[in-house]
Amino acid sequence: MPDISHLLKMKDRTDLEEVNPGDTVRIHWQVVEGNRTRTQVYQGFVLRIKKGGANASLTVRRVFQDIGVERTFLFSNPRLERIEVVRRGSVRRAKLYYLRGRTGRAARIKEKVSPRK
């Protein structure tokens, strides 16, 4: 298929902070309620990042009231206001599906220690 990105009216999202799988993030998401919009914040860790230009997305997992919740956000969606990285995680795979079956101590992610400059 030829390049049709100009037709999709994609927004340039270079304003977003770089995230990696395992990072704990706060997603600032615009919610429309009637004719008002407000920003909702959703916090969790990045389970996976799907690449693919216009369709690139990230999935954020959190455990809320003992129920695992996963939400997927398209990077190019204009409702995605901001991604705030709370903590950088150190993980050895790109997709962290193995964490789905784990709770408590087993579900921890080590913090990434950045090398001294």
Partner 1 sequence: MLLGTLGKKLGMTQMISEDGIVNAVTAVDVTPSTIVQIKTLDRDGYEKIQLGYGEANKISKPLQGHMKDLGEFRYLREVPVKDSSDHSLGDIVTADVFSVGDKISITGTSKGKGFAGPIKRYHFKGGPKSHGQKDKHRAPGSIGAGTTPGRVWKGQRMAGHMGMEKVTVRNLQIAAIDLESNIILVKGAVPGPPGNLLILRKKAERTL
Positions that interact with partner 1 (CB under 8 A):
1-2, 4, 6-10, 30, 32, 54-55, 74, 76-79
Distances (CA, A) of 52 to 16, 74, 75, 98, 112: 16, 10, 10, 23, 26
| Euclidean distance between CA atoms 78 and 82, whole angstroms | 10
Across 1-117, the runs of DSSP E, i.e. the strands, are 24-33, 36-50, 57-64, 67-74, 80-87, 89-90, 110-111
Minimum distance from CB of 48 to partner 1 (Å)?
18
Nearer to partner 1, 13 or 88 (CB): 13
Nearer to partner 1, 10 or 85 (CB): 10
Nearer to partner 1, 32 or 67 (CB): 32
Minimum distance from CB of 78 to partner 1 (Å)?
6
Minimum distance from CB of 41 to partner 1 (Å)?
16
